[in-house]
Structures are given as structure tokens and as C-alpha cells.
Amino acid sequence: MSQQAAERITVYADYVCPFCYLGRQSLDQYQDERDEELEIDWHPFDLRSGKRGPDGEIDHSVDDGKDEEYFEQAKENVRRLQEKYDAEMELELSRDIDSLNAQVASYHVKGNYDYDQWLEFDEAIYAALWQDGRDIGEPDVLADIAEDVGLDSEEIRDAIDDDGLRDELTQQFSVAQQQGVTGVPTFAYEGYAARGAVPPEQLRRLVEGE
């Protein structure tokens, strides 16, 4: 199917969000039910922005209102959805990993390669973190992932270091917030939206109205 003709679902997501990974497992299951391809129009969202210090490192002393009880509940929800979607996961949460470099790299690939190449890279980033427990904030890890899917690892390193690309990405984060996106994953289709790692049948209703 040509890129122009393919139906598209908009997905706001951050790689370090376990529910974004699980939401993609649900979306994959819905895709398997469909006769025609449903392309993903990925829009980046930065969950770590409020905790990233001036040096670019995550400052864990920043109070974001999430206590240990919150994280225990999140883990419970992750385990429940992992079982429901039969998802392979090495990690339940990724509190110490920053996805900004991964989002910069993915944004570069999305803008310069065809859809299938971006999708393979995108899925490989999710798998590296959630299935293999790798730190996708590390340029070396992202370069390895790029090479594994047939992309130029040095090009990805250059993209990560591109301040102009980072500025563009920051603007994309702002646009998402201006459009009312307050959490991820958020799936949007023709003016309607579903938030969270919703089941395949809810994604079907969102897209097909059934």
C-alpha cells in the first residue's frame, strides 16, 4: 500500500513509558485483525522534561508528585497488561533512563527515511529497553540499534548531537501539549482519542467506530 493511501493513526508516546510499549502491543494485535495496513504517525512526548536538570541529567530530587505507592500501583498495572497482551518484558518501569536521545534519533529517522525503516527502528528501540533492559539514553546503544536495522550508526550519532534537531523536537513536545495531550500513550484518529494502553477492541472502535 502506498504511503499516501494508507490509513494512519496518530500515537503520542515516550519510549520510557511502559504503557506506551504495552499500548503498541495492543495496537499490533489490532493490526493483525485488519486486512489493510494502519500506519503509525508517531508524535514524541517528553515525560522527563520536568526532571531534567541544566546539565541534561535526570534530577531525581525533583518532586513530581509520584511517590512509591504510585510506582507500586504502576508496576501492578504493568504486570496485569503484560499478561493480558502476552508482552515480553524484562523491565516493569524505567525510572532512571532518559529517552531524549532516543526520541531525537527516531525523529531524525522519521523525517529522512521511509515509513518501514522508521517503524523497524522505532520497534527496535522499544525492544532494546523493555525486552533487553538496555539504556536507550546512551548514544552507543542507539548506534548499535541503528546498525542492527540497517541504518548508519554514525548518522544517528550526529543526529543525537544536532542542537537544531533537539530544538525541533522540543517544539514538537510543546505542540502536543497545546493539542491537549497530557499523558501517554494517546491514540488519536479523525478527531477522537483514546488514552492509555487500551485493548485492541477499543482501538478498533476508535478507528472503525464499531
State pLDDT tens for residues 152-201: 999 999 999 999 999 999 999 999 999 999 999 999 999 999 999 999 99
- Model pLDDT, residue 33: 94
- Model pLDDT, residue 50: 59
* DSSP-derived 3-state class of residue 11: strand
Angle between helices 139-148 and 100-112 (to 10 degrees): 30
Q: Peptide bond preceding 185: is omega within 30 degrees of 0, i.e. cis?
A: yes
CATH code of the region 7-51+70-208? 3.40.30.10
- Model pLDDT, residue 60: 63
The Cα 190–Cα 206 span in angstroms is 9
- Per residue in 11-28, pLDDT tens? 999 999 999 999 999 999
**pLDDT interval class at 3 (50, 70, 90):** very low
- Model pLDDT, residue 68: 86
The Cα 181–Cα 42 span in angstroms is 13
Give the chain's mean pLDDT. 92
SS3 content of the chain, % helix, strand, coil (to 5): 50, 10, 35
Mean pLDDT along residues 67-94: 94
Domain map of the chain by residue range? 7-51+70-208
- Model pLDDT, residue 53: 67
**pLDDT interval class at 65 (50, 70, 90):** confident
